[in-house]
Structure 1
Amino acid sequence: MENQEKLFDRSVVCTICSQNHTTKKVRYRYIRALRSDSDFCSYYEDEENSPLLYYVSVCPNCGYAASDEFSTYFPPNSKVAIEHAFSSGWKNKDYGKKRSVKEAIEAYKLAIYCATLKKEKHIVLAGLYMRLVWILRKESMTDQEVRFMKLAVSEYVQSYSNEDYESTDMSQVKLLYLIGDLYRRLNDEKQAILYLSRVIQHREETLEKRMIELAREAWKEIRESQKLNLKSS
């Protein structure tokens, strides 16, 4: 199957400079996930055309990068801050074609920069960090993966505290589980148990039984690891 048949052009109007541009997306029928990690990182049959690579669109005219989760609202002075940030250094690079992993990583970092200047919701920033983590993991860029995982969990915790995940696709139970799992991956067992326990406490009041099962499995693994460490010490 030719790559151009798997990808299609989506038209985008930049909310900063109002210019039209196109960004690639993967046709849904060609997205086939083979397996996933405990933090929902999916491994695709065709990683060369992974939808992760095209989650972010980048305006070639002004450099503004965003995902579909970005709000249309701009806080006071945020547009000016973004325009100023790109006014002298942007080189009109076109990310609207088939992307390499390197270009996808660049696009995510641009979107994170723009989201920070725009003061986007914590849940939006966390989603950008998390998807970047998944790409870095697949590329075995461990140090960078850990760096951005720490940023992701920090944003998820702030999203939970501020409840800015409400009215999004992220539920409270899934958010708590994800925070707990990320802390577990970062070897912060105390925080991992704290958040995973909160998930398990929801067992009688949620339809998300899979989240409860995942949290219980992760909690059990941490406890067993702690017991082994005590025996060996």
Structure 2
Amino acid sequence: MVLLAVLTAVFVLLGLWQVQRMGWKHALIAKVDARIHAAPVSLPGEGGIAAAGQGGLDYLRVRLAGTYLAPATALVRASSERGLGYWAMTPLRLDDGRTIWVNRGFLPAGTALGAARASVPGGPVSVIGLLRSSEPGGSMLQSNRPADDRWYSRDVAALSRARGAGQTLPLFVDSQAEQSGEPGRAPQPAAGLTTVHFPDNHLSYALTWFAMALLSVFGIWLAWRRGNATPA
């Protein structure tokens, strides 16, 4: 019975932990939903970015103004609602002197790097999009191979080194809309394909742990009943 009592306590604690996680997850989903539907704001300063910490500004809707560094464009492997292809990543030199990478959107498989560069607008541009955290290293299955120009994640630090883009912000922007007086000369990437999905299975996990706790209590009751049964 002692073991069952310990297990009961453990299962209850795990269930309560999942309830707490559910509350945190629902608050996160509400915050992100509010951000992606809000009016765009100016990009925070470097102090604000540092203070927010890793992931603290994810999905903040921002407005940027600057000039693209088209020769530094890179193609990053992507899977989207349009199938397999690439994210077209290009650094944007902002009017305030900073540089940030912009995911201009999706290009289909088979797109050449030259075509992606040719699609970049010339001259001043304005961009509205969602801030995202850098994705260092690569995907779950494949590591980035900068020497071979093979990219499987949007690792802005590695992209900056490989493309000689200098110091860039530790974030990138998923473009939703772009305006320029000098459109690119090649087919444009499909913007606005950011997928926002947070797994929310905490309620089912909590119910599972609480059910295990109830079974343990039932086991304790059976053990107590057998121990106190009157011999025939």
Whether these two folds match at TM > 0.5 is no
Q: TM-score, length-normalised on structure 1?
A: 0.21
Q: Answer 1 or 2: which has greater strand percent.
A: 2
For the pair shown, which has the larger CA radius of gyration, 1 or 2? 2
Tell which has more relative contact order, 1 or 2 (C-alpha 8 A, sep 6+): 2
